[in-house]
Amino acid sequence: MAQSPSPRPLSPHLSIYKLPLTALVSITHRATGVINSTALILIVWTLAGAAGPADSFGFVGALVQSWFGKLMMFGFTLSLYYHFCNGIRHLFWDAGHGFELEAANRSARLTIIAAIVLSVITWLVALL
């Protein structure tokens, strides 16, 4: 005899359930680790092109100096600062501090704000 389907869902669907800020920050921390690893490959490629003959740097130099390259570099800067700030947050957790829900949410917001502010300051200093 076949079982009738249950009238209630087995688990909340992502379109219904909103992830808490701490979960989004955790997922983003992992994603920025992957982004940073990939970006470092591109930076090594850029440095290798700069160390070689002048014509080998042409394509890479043009890419880095284009609007898209600058946007990628800003994104990489933001990713680095975010990963760094969230790493400091994890160091506090390793010491046993900040596990309360309000403290975890506050440190998550602080991590995001600090990464944005540090990235903007870095680029303002670099462009001036």
Model confidence at 6, in pLDDT bands (50, 70, 90)?
Answer: low
Domain region containing 48 = 21-127
Q: How many domains does the chain have?
A: 1
Q: Is residue 62 part of a domain?
A: yes
Complete DSSP assignment for 28-60: HHHHHHHHHHHHHHHHHHHHHHHHS-GGGSHHH
Q: Which pLDDT tens digit goes with each residue over 54-87?
A: 777 777 778 888 999 899 999 999 999 999 999 9
Predicted TM-score (pTM) of the model is: 0.81
Sign of the Cα pseudo-torsion (36, 42, 44, 47, in order): negative
87 is a domain residue: yes
Angle between helices 101-127 and 21-51 (to 10 degrees): 30
- The CATH number for 44's domain is 1.20.1300.10
pLDDT of residue 11: 67
- In a domain, residue 13? The reply is no
